[in-house]
Structure 1
Amino acid sequence: MGKTILTVGVYDMLHIGHILLFKRAKELGDRLVVAVQDGDFIQKYKPGTSMIYTTEERMYMVSTIRYVDEVILYRDVDKDLPNFKFDVFAKGPDQTHAGFQRAVEWCLENGKEVVVIPRTEGISSTMLREYSKTR
């Protein structure tokens, strides 16, 4: 079957940094599964968050990227991770909130490798949001 890599995110403002994340994650194994966070869940826990794309649109966009083998939906990272089949959890250095800390702890307790993939310098969704306000 080979080694399955899992990464998670919102991917509302898909950019080159995300593509490179997927490329680097895919290089860690044979199969890349990307979990996209449910927009309803985001709204529930961060009311007023403005999303550009629906959950379905974000999942579709991610699915078209050649490094991605499968796209799945997730709501809460630490609660959903144990339900997914994977060998390596690839995450960004900024994914550090309590839910991610619990997810990493679960991975380590259950024999899953955790790899932190560095950010791509010079690009982020936050930068894109700020840029779009000046246009």
Structure 2
Amino acid sequence: TGGALTEAVARGVRTASEYVAAGGATALSDRLRETGSPRVPVGREDDAFEVAERVRRGGGTVVATGGCFDLLHAGHVCLLQQARRLGDCLVVCVNSDASVRRAKGPGRPVTPAEDRARVLRALSDVDATVVFDEDTPARLLEELRPDVWVKGADYEGRELPEADIIRARGGAVVLLPLLEGRSTTRLLEAR
């Protein structure tokens, strides 16, 4: 609904404003001056926890999001771009193949988890990925400890088991607007 989208945008703007007020823009400017890049250098494919810890040590904001990301599409890319703007690094938590099958059914995923994670890491807005096998990323987020957890506005009014974990540590849960009509399920149904 229009109200849910308006509230999601307002919540995203509030969170971004808090980030800027806390010095996030200064931290980004410092990194640009030092390295010429806003990205945190990533040396290995499996170092999401190291990236998050390095950003935290530098006083930065760790943002995480999660999902299946099966058949990456413009809606995913838009969400990732918006999420990355909320902090100093973006870690994407990717559902394993077994986790996707439990959530979406026996015909999914179309793309194996290793490939989905690799494609996501190739995007300039993604600093690291980590694959999880549980139905929700709650246990993973306890260890990763992001400052901001991002999901799409389609989760408005739905219970997110991981939200309490984020908020208990003083973090924020942000629901960002989606590109209308973009979903992997719709793409597959249109075939």
Is 1:111 paired with 2:170? yes
* Cα separation, partners in 2 of 1:12 and 1:117, compared to 1, 3 Å: same
Q: How far did residue 38 of structure 1 move?
A: 0.7
For structure 1, the residue ranges without an aligned partner over 5 or more in a row are none
SS of equivalent residue, structure 1 residue 66: coil
Larger relative helix fraction: 2
Classify 1:45/1:19 alpha carbon distance in 2 versus 1 (closer, same or farther; 3 Å).
Answer: closer
- Tell me the distance in 2 between the aligned counterparts of 1:69 and 1:23: 12
In structure 2, distance between residues paired with 1:74 and 1:39: 9
Choose which of 10, 23, 30 in structure 1 pairs with 2:88.
30
What is the aligned-residue identity percentage? 29
Distance 1:79 1:85 in 2: 10
- Larger-gyration structure (1/2): 2
Please say which of residues 40-49 and 61-70 is displaced more in the overlay.
Answer: 40-49
TM-score for the superposition, normalised by structure 2: 0.62
Matching residue of 2:21: none
3-state SS of paired residue (2:154)? coil
Provide Cα deviations, 1:59-94, integer angstroms capped at 9, x if missing partner.
111111110011111223223221113110011123
Q: Which runs of 5 or more structure 2 residues have no equivalent in the other structure?
A: 1-57
Structure number with the higher strand fraction is: 1
Alignment of 1:50-129 (within 5 A): 50-75=108-133, 76-95=136-155, 101-129=160-188
In the alignment, is residue 15 of structure 1 matched against residue 73 of structure 2? yes
Structure number with greater CO (CA < 8 Å, separation at least 6) is 1
How far does residue 13 in structure 1 lie from its aligned partner after superposition?
A: 1.4
Give RMSD over aligned pairs. Answer: 2.0
Alpha-carbon deviations, 1:73-132, whole Å to 9, x = none? 12232232211131100111234797x522112211221111111111232212211112
**Counterpart Cα distance in 1 of 2:100 and 2:189:** 20
Aligned length: 131
Q: Is the 8 A contact 1:90 1:116 kept in 2?
A: yes
CA distance in 2, matches of 1:41, 1:112: 25
CA distance in structure 2 between the partners assigned to 1:128 and 1:86 by the alignment: 31
| Deviating 4+ runs (over 3 angstroms) | 44-47, 95-98
* AA of the residue aligned to 2:186: M
Aligned-residue offset at 1:23: 0.4
